[in-house]
Structures are given as structure tokens and as C-alpha cells.
A = this chain, B = another copy of it.
């Protein structure tokens, strides 16, 4: 029997060159790829391994979460509503110091379970013990871009990080039928001096992998950078030559006009994390300005410790609502642009090989199916508006990555959720003494 799936739905909504809607359509999936998307045709069912026909359904590209620290879901709700340094120094760092390799595996699985349930099919992760994160990704079937977090304040530790990154690339890059890619993860300009960033850039060039960095997250960070170097973090990073490589910058909350020019000119991709930026009191990123200058803006959740969920529907909504409120203009970032940020622009921001983040022939079959027959999705005027302004993670009913169904009708098919929740609870107790 051929490994083909026929997926019929009421609506397929995707962003390619522009917003595209297919009504009462169907999709053919062969192995990991979409090979047809269009009107329903006469096709004998026996030609398919499986026929999925969901009434009252909307199929979209899976969401792409371009910035998180997956294993930190072990600290979800452990410490909230605290000033940043109190949170880090008295809560998060002491708990992180107790983290073992196995915790990273289970914490990452906890996040993967949540992300799949919410329609996320790919995420960019930066943390440590990343081979454990890779193992969790491979087992679950999700797509991910993984980076070992690098800190370059101490020479020994900095060099060790580079060696670990080199190992990570050798052992995991393009593994899992290509679902796993590796990036280099210099933590931030305030934890990686310029010379170290240069080294990271050289290694990225040698290994041909992209770079994932935190940039201009807080007002304090920018002020310190200006005090110490006479340059903003963006200016500083620009001078290290990092933007010559594929560069993903998370946060970009506090930017000067010149910073925005640099991001645009150097094709630096931004991971906007509205939920985390609000929750940590970092501020509101100037996303409307970034988009106007044609900077590529994607969406991230940051970790569950500072969000506290990993829900791209929520980040999409925040991304548009915040700009409308901030600018006092309801026309800013219409729903379809927020949808674009969460899908195809996420794929672009991760520099993924092949076509992902959109539904079309030849693209990876990474998708989510949402149930529409619910009061909060009625009447059915604009599907983009319903998706961005009304839908919730609970509406996601089926998720597929690389042509494989990972979740269906509320059940995770590739991982043992019961065991993951149990392990997460046990480990949380050990880590925090709660």
C-alpha cells in the first residue's frame, strides 16, 4: 500500500506570496511532503494508506516558535511576579544549578507535548545538554533548531561551549530525516564579549550553520552596553561580523532608529516574544516599525518560566493587539500578517532547509487542523481573524510533522504524556524543593 495520506477539510489557509484560502479542498501527502493541494478530485480510497476527512475544520501550516528554552517548562509557575534579578538570582539560577542531563530530556518533552497540542510543529531552542533536547525531538517527531547556549565570559568555559557546539553539529545536524538542525547559540552580547562573538561567527561560517542570540531585551542591557562600549547591543553585534552569517536575534525590544536600520540592512531575523517581554517587564518591541523597514519578524514564546505557556496562537494575538494599542491604530498588523509571522516567516527566521511554514505542493507536510464548530468561531466570516483573534490552543485537533500524525483528537501519538507529566512533577520537586 502506498504511503499516501488524503486530507480533506473545509478550509486550508496559508501564507505563501500572499494569503491563500482553499475551501472544501483536499491535500495529498506522500511521505514527508505535500504533493497536492486544491479542489477535491475523484480518487479511489484504496490508493491511500489513510483518508482523513474532518468536517468543520481549518488546516493551517504548523506554527513555528522561533525562541524558547524548552526544558525550562520544569519551572513554569515556580516564580512569578518578581523583579528580574530577584527572579533570576534567587529562584531560576539556583534551580538551574541542580539541573541534570535527564531533566533536560524530560523538560523538553513536557514542552514538546504542550507545543504539539497547540499546533506548533517546529521550535528554536537554546539551552544546555542539547543532545538530550535532540533526543526528545527525534522521539516525538517534532521539527527543531537547537542551539547550545554559549557564555564567553571565561575563556575555558567559552572554548568548551564551542567544542560542544561543534559536537552537536556533527552528531545531530540534519538528523531525524532532516527535522533537527543545529544553530550556534551565543547567549547575548552582555555574556559574550566581542572577541568571543567573532569566534562564534567564524565557527558558524566553518560549519555553515545559523546563529541564535538574545539581543536588546531590556533597557538595562542597552544602557550597560552603551556605557561599556559606547555602542548599542545591535551596533556591537554588527561590528563583530555575526550578521554575515544567518542570524536570528531574539527580543529586540529596545532599539534605536539606527539599530532598526542595521537589522534591515543585514537581514537579521527577529524573534519577537511579546508574552515574555510583557511578563518580565522588559517592554514592548517596536514591531510595526520593524515591519515597515521590512525586517523579518517571527514569533517566539521564550520559556514557560516567563510566559507561562508555549502557545503561538496567543503570541500571534499579542503581536498584533499590542501594536494596535501602542500606536492607537486598529489597522496596524492585520490578522493575516500576524499569521504570516507565526508560520512562513518563522521558517525563514530559522533558515530551514526545504519549504516549511506554508501549505503548497513540494512543501513539508507540517500542519495543524483546528475545529471550527464552536461558539467562539461563529459566524464564519474571516478565517484569518478567527484564527488570530478568537481561536485557542484547545481548538487544535490534529497535528502533523513531516507527514506523520503526532496528535489526533486530543491524543499524543508519539510520546507518553502520562509519563512525561509524572516525570516533570517529580523532577520539579527535586529542583525547587517545593
Tell me if A376 is interfacial: C-beta within 8 Å of chain B. Answer: yes
Interfacial chain B residues near A279, Cβ < 8 Å:
321, 324-325, 330, 389
Residue of B nearest to A79 (CB): B381
Interfacial chain B residues near A117, Cβ < 8 Å:
374-376
Interfacial chain B residues near A77, Cβ < 8 Å:
379-382, 385-386, 389-390
Given contacts A77-B389, A281-B325, whether A420 and B330 have CB atoms under 8 Å apart is no
Interfacial chain B residues near A277, Cβ < 8 Å:
325
Nearest CB in chain B: distance from A167 CB, A: 30
Q: Tell which of A47-55, A82-90, A187-195, A227-235 binds the partner.
A: A82-90
Nearest CB in chain B: distance from A250 CB, A: 16
> Are A434 and B390 neighbours in the complex by a CB distance under 8 Å?
no
Residue of B nearest to A385 (CB): B77
Tell me if A282 is interfacial: C-beta within 8 Å of chain B. Answer: yes
Tell me if A45 is interfacial: C-beta within 8 Å of chain B. Answer: no
- Pick the contact of A425: B281, B333, B380 (CB < 8 A): B380
Tell me if A169 is interfacial: C-beta within 8 Å of chain B. Answer: no
Question: How often does this chain occur in the complex, in copies?
Answer: 2
Tell me if A226 is interfacial: C-beta within 8 Å of chain B. Answer: no
Tell me if A93 is interfacial: C-beta within 8 Å of chain B. Answer: no
Question: Chain A contact residues (Cβ within 8 angstroms of B): what range?
Answer: 35 or more
Nearest CB in chain B: distance from A249 CB, A: 19
Q: Tell which of A146-154, A351-359, A391-399 binds the partner.
A: A391-399
Nearest CB in chain B: distance from A72 CB, A: 12
Bound together, the chains give a CA A330 to CA B307 distance in angstroms of 11
Bound together, the chains give a CA A115 to CA B270 distance in angstroms of 36
> Are A114 and B330 neighbours in the complex by a CB distance under 8 Å?
no
Q: Tell which of A60-68, A240-248, A308-316 binds the partner.
A: A308-316
> Are A321 and B428 neighbours in the complex by a CB distance under 8 Å?
no
Bound together, the chains give a CA A84 to CA B282 distance in angstroms of 30
- Pick the contact of A309: B322, B324, B332, B389 (CB < 8 A): B389
Interfacial chain B residues near A389, Cβ < 8 Å:
77, 80, 279, 307-309
From A278, A427, A434, residue with most partner B Cβ within 10 Å: A278
Bound together, the chains give a CA A394 to CA B394 distance in angstroms of 5
Interfacial chain B residues near A144, Cβ < 8 Å:
none
> Are B80 and A335 neighbours in the complex by a CB distance under 8 Å?
yes
Residues on A lying within 8 angstroms of B by beta carbon are 73-74, 76-78, 80-84, 87, 110-111, 113-114, 117-118, 219, 275, 277-284, 304, 307-311, 318, 321-322, 324-335, 373-376, 378-382, 385-386, 389-390, 392-395, 417, 420-421, 424-425, 427-429, 432, 434
Enumerate the 7 nearest inter-chain pairs by beta-carbon distance, A residue then B residue, closest first.
Answer: A394-B394, A379-B428, A278-B325, A114-B375, A81-B334, A308-B389, A281-B330
Q: 14 interchain pairs (CB within 8 A)?
A: A76-B378, A76-B381, A80-B334, A80-B382, A81-B333, A82-B330, A83-B329, A114-B375, A117-B375, A278-B324, A279-B330, A379-B427, A381-B432, A392-B393
